[in-house]
Amino acid sequence: MKLSDYVINYIEERNIEHIFGLPGGGCIHLMDSIKKSNIKFIGALHEQGASIMAEAYAQYKNDTSVLLTTTGPGATNAITGITSAWLDSVPMVVLTGQVQLKDKNSNQYLRQRGFQEINIVKMVKNITKMALTIREPEQIKYYLDKAFYLTRNKRPGPVLLDIPLDIQATEINVESLIGFTGESTLDSYHNYREQNVREVVMDKRYQGIIDFINASQKPILLIGNGVRLSGAEDEFINFAVSNNIPVLTTWKAADLIKENHYLFVGRPGSIAKRGANLNQQNCDLMICVGARLDSGQIAYNWDNFAPNAQKIRVDIDIEELNKYQNNINDIPLVCEAKYFFQRLNESKELIVDHIEWAKQCKDLYNKLPLSEPVYTFNADLDTGLSQYINPEYVDIYHLIKVISENTNKNHIIVPGSSGACSEVTMQALEINEGVRVFNSPGLGAMGFGIPASIGGAIASGKKTICIDGDGGFIMNIQELELVTRYKLPIIFFVLNNNGYGSIRTTQNNHFNKELIGCDNTSGLTLPSIGAIAHAFKIKYFKAYNNKELSEIKMINNDIPIIVEVMVDPEQLTLPRVQAHVDDDGKFYPGTMENMYPYE
């Protein structure tokens, strides 16, 4: 069998239905093999778009996706999506074409030997769990086995296999191929994670954890995406409900518990509802599971993160546990979330019911909402925001409220990865039963909205809602051709705030309103959203104010739609933890319980 046929057959036998990518001379044999298979090739118009689609597809499926690119610029274009998959623990196998081995550069001082040749393996070594070039055809099964094993094993992530053109075309004896046989052959970094440490560490500290929970008056769970990655959704809910412990989530785990669940009490962080942060800060026991506690999650201030709480931190990656200075009383656990909750659910020693504390947290969360669509400077600081929204524009918070009210299990929601489109959505969205929400906050790159929505729509077959900024939207507009090609039921809400709103706000707040490169007064102009919709033959609406959002019923349509939403360029994401700048220009974090403008 030709090696490229073997590779595609191997992928097909794993029940992978789609491969994302672009054709090219460097991967021509692999492309030919796809044509002979039952796998559907999703041909994007740029490798960055293809890599983001594959990442989003894997996020929805919670399983490994496959990306295929050609050599040189095809591979380098895909690095953004690979990076995001690495940071957000998304399982993805990346296949890159490469020049023939005889043309491949082996001189470290020579920049290039073959046409379009580049050492992609060296480039992505630090953002993959494994990256290598296949040099011996008989090794193909071994490295395919290992690649798919590593993407899902322990902490998931991307793997890259670089396959030279002549290797792709080689005839191989399938019967003589040797596979990957187990954990003993892994390198030392992964070998540490393959040891049976999860049970050992958990069992050693089990009694102490039980004692802390029973002794706590105000325990709280902070749930991250590691719970989903380990398949522990049911175990987590069972533990929370059995012990009536209130639940906070990160943005990546936002849809693991619905808004109106009696134990859900918010998504804390730099940008959050006040009740969520106050609940976190008031607890005396923080049980943090599968959340890597990035800078935004702790508001750039580890010392102020649940400052009065004993902390039990559970993560599969020891480096995540080690990145902050631990208090002597903290309990870091290298453990899978599923085993952690299974072990606690088996316990007969958890005897304290925390229902009154849970009610207190829920009441506080509900008492401090984001207020009504139009805020004024005279708003009650205890209950609503003190922000004036020009009624001639659409209030972003009103948009998210309407989306919350009109989505159900038939929808997925894909906010952009940075700026107001991401911040306001994840701060204000009320998630109903069955709604799936995902983005890529680790990298937070603009340009994720369109391709991520495509990947999610193809993976799910559901109606997809994308909330994107005008700046991020235009960065991958070429992929709208796929939306038209496949008639994907995606509605894009494009927030037109005349440029890069979050950058403009930062420059206004900290640099004496000296703007550069963020709007049409400072060196940035953006193309017409309406003209883009027309070019791709996508139905288009424009909403100037809240009243005109009455067309929101179209989110249940089965055709693609673009809605340009005119928002006030001066509207802020509030409340938020506000950083402070001293006279020397150094930034200092605020505290999570004191959110601007309530400090």
77-110 confidence digits (pLDDT tens): 999 999 999 999 999 999 999 999 888 878 777 8
Structure tokens at 166: 């002549």
Taking 70 as the pLDDT cut, the residues of the chain under it are 182-201, 325-329, 371-388, 509-510, 513, 551-552, 599
CA distance 452 to 416: 9
Hey, do 3-194 and 197-367 end up sharing a CATH topology, with the first three levels equal? yes
pLDDT of residue 498: 83
Measuring CA to CA, which residue among 397, 407, 400, 401 is closest to residue 434?
A: 407
Q: Kindly give the residue spans of alpha helices, DSSP state H, lying in 188-255.
A: 188-194, 197-215, 226-229, 233-243
Q: What is the pLDDT of residue 328?
A: 56
Q: What's this model's pTM, rounded to 2 decimal places? A: 0.91
Given the candidates 1.10.8.60, 3.40.50.360, 3.40.50.970, 3.20.20.120, the CATH classification of the domain at 3-194 is 3.40.50.970
* H helix runs in 420-554, sequence order: 420-428, 449-460, 470-473, 480-485, 501-510, 529-535
Q: What is the largest CA-CA distance in the chain?
A: 78
pLDDT value for 599: 65
Please give the backbone phi and psi of residue 398, each rounded to the nearest 5 degrees, phi first.
Answer: -65, -40
Tell me, what's the pLDDT at 52? 98
Place of tokens 């494009």: 494
Q: What is the pLDDT of residue 579?
A: 81
Among residues 221, 204, 287, 284, the alpha carbon closest in space to that of 257 is found at 221
CATH number of the 197-367 domain? 3.40.50.1220
Domain extent listing, the chain: 3-194, 197-367, 396-573
pLDDT score, position 194: 40
Neighbours of 388 (CB within 10 A): 15
The values of phi and psi at residue 492, to 5°, are -100, 115
Q: Domain 396-573 belongs to what architecture?
A: 3-Layer(aba) Sandwich (3.40)
